[in-house]
Structure 1
Amino acid sequence: MTSQRTLNRLFVLHSWAGIVTGLLMFIVCFSGAVAVFKNEIDLWANPSLAQLPRSAQPAPLDVVLGQLQARYPGATVETIALPDAVNPSYFAFVRERGAPASTRTKVALRSDTGAVVGPVDSQLGQYLRMLHVFLFFGPRWIVGFLGVAMLVLIGTGIVIHRKILAELFTQRWGRSFRVVMSDLHKSAGIWGLGFHILIAATGAWMGLAPLFEQGYRYVMTPTGRAEAQAPRPAPPAPPMQSLDAMYATAQRAVPGLEARYVSLRRWTTAGADVSFTGNLRGHLASTARVDIDAVTGVPKKVHDPRTQGFWSMVNGLMEPLHFGDFGGLALKWLYFVLGMTPAFLSISGTLIWLDARRQRRRDIQATPARGERDVAAAG
């Protein structure tokens, strides 16, 4: 049985972990709950896109690329997003000639003809996703650390509130503000416990696993450096393989691949390659990917979570489990409602802590007055 001294220490750890991370936790949890509807929000913010026809047989990728090159001559087409269950259109991210290296234009294209509609007016859904994943400009490990902090809060909260089942339906509405908020805080934490563990664990994994992987590669990579070589003149631009033919090659390499994004790198150069990234038909794991040499059309790297071992499968499950984008609109609403509870916990926990501090100050201020009255009565 946990001693009272240990419980007190865990309570202090729980309180300060919540206070230190409270604001960031609220931002990340609130934006994450809303970002579940990222694609729907983008369509809502761009109503003209929702009116575009949905084609049962989308235009070939080669046609889409040709339309982009014709509309934006000299620009670099970096990524093409394919139509999906929510978005009826193609989208492309284009870096126009003379634009800063960090500036991209998101362009919409009709799915039936591949014709360019024009730049997307609002990317509100994408901004919310960036706020949730990177806090806009921060490294992702910060959000991963918040996932670890959330696991600490969950673990200490479970130990502190040992009578979980008894408190499951406890709500004392007629009591003080702190008691009411404390009951709401515990109820929200208990009812959403399984979901909170899932979100915290998957968020911590996605934020911190790449950091550990980079550290492992740094340690294991030989320190010797290759000798510097004189720069060579760039060879003439070879012809590029068909995007549609390379997509068919990618689907043969990874059966069931449903590409969501096509990324073009160093296009029209001898070192050009194309990546097809997406989901696996009938499988929960995501982030299947095939890299293909755009000059020869031969796969360079194939990543199929189903065949890469246990940890690769675990990694492939993290994103769909975290964002809830695998079960349709009903599951998104469930993720949204449950996703709001950690945001509420960060607010309610902070309010409880502040109210407790105010009460302690009042008690300290009242103590001398009581002492003076006792002395006067004794005299």
Structure 2
Amino acid sequence: MTDASTPSTPRQKKNWLSPEFVRAMLAGHSALGLAFAALIYIVCLSGTLAVFVLEFKRWEQPNVPLVFEEPTPEAIGNALNAAFIAAKEHSETPDLFVAWDGSRTPHFNVSFHDHESGMEREWLADAKGNIVEEVEAPWSEFLARLHINLHIPPTYGLFIVGLTGVALLSSLISGLLSHPRIFRDAFSFRIGGSRRLQDADLHNRLGVWGLPFHIAVSLTGALLGLSVLIIGVLALAAYEGDSGKAFGELIGPQAGEDVAPAPLPDLSAMIARIRADHADSIFSSAHVEHAGTVGQMTHLSMRSPGHLSSANPYYFDGTGELIGDGGLESGSIGQQILGALHPIHFGWFGGMTVKIVYGLLGLALTIVTHTGVTIWLHRRREKGRPTPFWERIWAALAWSQPFALAAAALVALTASPALILPSYLVCFGAALGIGYLSRDETACARILLLLSGLSLCAVAVVHIAMFWDRGIADPMGWIVDGLLIGGGFILMADVLILVGKRYMSGKTARGRARSTP
């Protein structure tokens, strides 16, 4: 026993990880983060915006019909027939696609694709299934491709993005293991100290608060990006190297070889067949491969409430017989996980509320990536080994993105879609040039913040001017324009405050000079 008169010393709570292990994890965390920092940052920021890509499509075409109620089977059939008539002018055996998902967007889409020529077109239909206008959302498509494959040929781009997801997931795990106190300090934030300490607290707090989200999106992103590689391994392991057979298991049966003419599938009867077993199911899409031929195959996707998957595909052969389904709602665990990958990664499973939460958490992950590099740079400066060149370049890379994306949006509104990617790359390069020539990282950041803010405001003004006469019927058009202007002023706030202070200081000095005898 301890004598009551003898003061006892409190025991230090021992960390469950050894100091050597923590140092090794921290070194690995820093090395991995620095190696993939630029890619992770661009993928995270573009992914945050891509959560709202369907809203951006509405913004780009704010005066097309909106279909808020599920189209009737007759309207779906009308849309399929209209697409078939348009497609036959360009293709003998077109693939037709009709899609509506009111939980994500009120657009009723109709499209076709020709396997031989690669030609494709997409339209928007009204509630009766009448084709109204061709889809023209080039900036939204540009944003989606930037996130999915960085505009690199898909075979390589998907792999690079998938590898980036693996690097991000590894960084998250190594970051946790290198900071044993990270959960205990979850609400600790040091303000007023060094820039490095403030960035470190922001980095760690945002990393912990959004950890389930960060892990979910990095893991699903890695799986989606590396899907071709995963299927290749699956083919070697289970299908004797037959990748076509492995893909067939995942994407369902394909159309037959018989291209003799035949009536289009009766989608009304197919929908009724599914609802006989799933009365509460809602139409999501219909994909008819080699439409209008004896060998045609229909994948009818229906969504049942209570499932994370966007929809479950049901397969009908050329005679209209149901021959199976994808099992994404009630199949094996593996099938259900496959069905949940896209909704979990993009936040497309709970309406606008979930999208907003995903947007905020995606922005937090982008900030975590940015501050990870600034912490390393400022630590070097504090140790007397500054790298001012890389400080400026990292600031330039970070703030180049809103500037380049806004410039690309301006080009999409006013010029040829073919110029969108070049304009983005030119502005990206110009931002790096500003970083190279700037006095320091603060000057670089202020220049690019000003350019980004002005560009965002210009996008909104040009958009309103373009559609003023025709009218912006979709409220999403006004919402996005308002957010662009608000975001522009937020980005410019630091510069505007600085200019205001200098103006007031100069005004005060001039007043004193006049009052001096």
CA contact (8 A) 1:253 1:302 kept: no
Q: What is the correspondence of 1:9-48 to structure 2 with a 5 Å cutoff?
A: 9-48=24-63
Who is 2:441 aligned against? Answer: none
SS in structure 2 of the partner of residue 362 of structure 1: coil
Q: Which moved more, 1:84-93 or 1:113-122?
A: 84-93
Who is 1:270 aligned against? Answer: 294
SS in structure 2 of the partner of residue 271 of structure 1: coil
Is 2:358 the partner of 1:335? yes
Corresponding letter in the other structure for 1:289: P
Corresponding letter in the other structure for 2:63: S
Q: What is the correspondence of 1:132-151 to structure 2 with a 5 Å cutoff?
A: 132-136=147-151, 137-139=153-155, 140-151=158-169
Who is 1:248 aligned against? Answer: 272
For residues 343 and 272 of structure 2, what CA distance do their matches in structure 1 show? 25
For residues 235 and 54 of structure 1, what CA distance do their matches in structure 2 show? 37
C-alpha distance after superposition, 1:130-161 (max 9, x if no partner): 33233344343433332322221121111221
Deviation at 1:103, TM superposition (A): 4.2
Is 2:330 the partner of 1:307? yes
Structure 2 portions without partners, runs of 5+: 1-15, 243-256, 388-517
TM-score of the two chains, using structure 1 as the length reference: 0.81
Deviation at 1:215, TM superposition (A): 1.7
Deviation at 1:77, TM superposition (A): 5.0
Sequence identity of aligned pairs in percent?
A: 26
RMSD: 2.9
Who is 2:430 aligned against? Answer: none
Who is 1:197 aligned against? Answer: 215
SS in structure 1 of the partner of residue 354 of structure 2: helix
CA contact (8 A) 2:97 2:287 kept: yes
Who is 1:280 aligned against? Answer: 304
Who is 1:82 aligned against? Answer: 100
CA contact (8 A) 1:37 1:125 kept: no
For residues 186 and 106 of structure 1, what CA distance do their matches in structure 2 show? 45
Who is 1:184 aligned against? Answer: 202
Deviation at 1:165, TM superposition (A): 3.7
Pick from 209, 212, 237: which aligns with 2:261?
237
CA contact (8 A) 1:277 1:288 kept: yes
SS in structure 1 of the partner of residue 223 of structure 2: helix
For residues 83 and 322 of structure 1, what CA distance do their matches in structure 2 show? 17
Deviation at 1:363, TM superposition (A): 8.2
Is 2:321 the partner of 1:298? yes
C-alpha distance after superposition, 1:65-93 (max 9, x if no partner): 22234455423353111252453342122
Assess, with a 3 A threshold, how the Cα gap between structure 1 residues 244 and 236 changes in structure 2: closer, same or farther.
same
Deviation at 1:60, TM superposition (A): 2.4
Is 2:18 the partner of 1:3? yes
SS in structure 1 of the partner of residue 63 of structure 2: helix
C-alpha distance after superposition, 1:277-298 (max 9, x if no partner): 34322322334111211x3101
Structure 1 portions without partners, runs of 5+: 225-232, 365-379
CA contact (8 A) 1:29 1:339 kept: yes
C-alpha distance after superposition, 1:244-302 (max 9, x if no partner): 22333344466654332211211122221111234322322334111211x31012331
Q: What is the correspondence of 1:102-113 to structure 2 with a 5 Å cutoff?
A: 102-111=118-127, 113=128
TM-score of the two chains, using structure 2 as the length reference: 0.61
Corresponding letter in the other structure for 2:189: Q
Assess, with a 3 A threshold, how the Cα gap between structure 1 residues 307 and 114 changes in structure 2: closer, same or farther.
closer
Is 2:79 the partner of 1:64? yes
Q: Which moved more, 1:234-243 or 1:308-317?
A: 234-243
Is 2:368 the partner of 1:352? no
Count of aligned pairs: 351
For residues 210 and 72 of structure 1, what CA distance do their matches in structure 2 show? 30
For residues 328 and 95 of structure 2, what CA distance do their matches in structure 1 show? 28
SS in structure 2 of the partner of residue 82 of structure 1: strand
Deviation at 1:314, TM superposition (A): 2.5
CA contact (8 A) 1:257 1:288 kept: no
Pick from 101, 107, 111: which aligns with 1:93?
111
Corresponding letter in the other structure for 2:304: L
For residues 56 and 145 of structure 2, what CA distance do their matches in structure 1 show? 14
Structure with the higher helix share, 1 or 2: 2
CA contact (8 A) 1:60 1:244 kept: no
CA contact (8 A) 2:98 2:287 kept: yes
C-alpha distance after superposition, 1:156-195 (max 9, x if no partner): 1112211124422332222222222112111111221222
Corresponding letter in the other structure for 2:176: I
C-alpha distance after superposition, 1:177-220 (max 9, x if no partner): 22221121111112212221222223233334553233222333
Is 2:336 the partner of 1:320? no
CA contact (8 A) 1:25 1:346 kept: yes
Deviation at 1:304, TM superposition (A): 2.3
Who is 2:146 aligned against? Answer: 131
